[in-house]
Structures are given as C-alpha cells and as structure tokens.
Amino acid sequence: IRYQATYDQLTGLPNRSLFMDRLSVALHQAQRNSYRVGLMFIDLDGFKLVNDNLGHEAGDFVLREVAARLTREIRAEDTAGRIGGDEFMIVLANLSGMEKIAEKRATEVASRIIASISIPIIYHEVPIRIGASVGIAIFPDHAQTPKELRKLADQAMYAAKKSGKYNYAFATVTGDGKQQLEQRKT
C-alpha cells in the first residue's frame, strides 16, 4: 500500500508526492553542505500523437521506456520522478558549490536526456520518435524553496518548448532579483 501511494504504477518512478519530499531533503542537505541542487522539469514533445495514432498501450510502453532512459542518464544520488501524464522531473542532488560548475553539470545532463529520448523507441517493430523539452532551475541561485524551484523549472520548460522544442532553458535571476528565463538550444 505504501509503495502504491508513493510510486507511479506505470513507470515505477517516484510520484509527485515522494518526488517533492526527495527534493526537500536534497535542498536541506545542500543548504547544510553549501551545495547546489538542480531541478529539471521535462515534458515529452510529440507524445500526444503516440496515444492518438498508436493507442494508449503504445503510449504506456513509451512512458516506461522514457523512465528507463531517464534513470540511466542520472547518478544514483539523483532522483527521477513522473509527475503525471508525459511530465517528469529530476533532482540533481549535491551539485558543486560553485555556480558555473553546477550549471555545466545540469547542462550536460539535460543534453544527454534530450539525446537519449530522441532515439526512436521501437514498439512492435514500429519506430516511435518523440523529443523532450527541459526546464532547469538551480538552488539557491534561482529559488530557495521546492515550490519556487518547481515553478521556475516549469516556466523554463515552457520557454524551451516555445523556442522550438527539443532543447532546454535555464531559469535565471537578474541583478535586481527579478526572475527571467535564459534559453539554450542543444
């Protein structure tokens, strides 16, 4: 019962509740140890067409494969979770204490995720092509709380989608403390 309440039944990844708990723990540890934490919000590009054209069984197969690919692209101390539908999130725990190194690490992971998800998924001998748009927010540079980080990572993901999909965008904070988005393509 506990497993069913905290893990996504389709993918086996932590669900939203467990994922947000793990994000909170990662932020507390980072604050204590002067580390940074990256939060990635991932939305699949082209997934709706899979369900519409091939059916929900094919869609479920794709979601399971995406979950496996995400898990392969992160370290053991990181966490991938399925938030719902075709949305996933990743906590990049214990990033460097230095901002540029943390951003570089997040960029490397985002690029690998986008590349991995863009490899066709073979379902009953039919290649399925989807992509990913990734939004990234870094603690403590962009926000201080799990809720704020999630909001900024979500906004950054939509900015990545607007700029042509299949890429990533960082949330940034200007010198006057206002939040803005920095888009980067892979």
The catalytic site residues sit at 86
**Which residue from 130, 86, 142, 136 is spatially nearest to 110, judged by alpha carbons?**
136
CB 41 within 8 A of CB 87: yes
CB 11 within 8 A of CB 60: no
CB 137 within 8 A of CB 156: yes
Gap between the Cα atoms of 82 and 98, Å rounded: 29
59 burial type by CB count under 10 A (0-12 exposed, 13-18 middle, 19+ buried):
buried
Q: Angle at which helices 16-33 and 146-162 pack, to 10 degrees?
A: 110
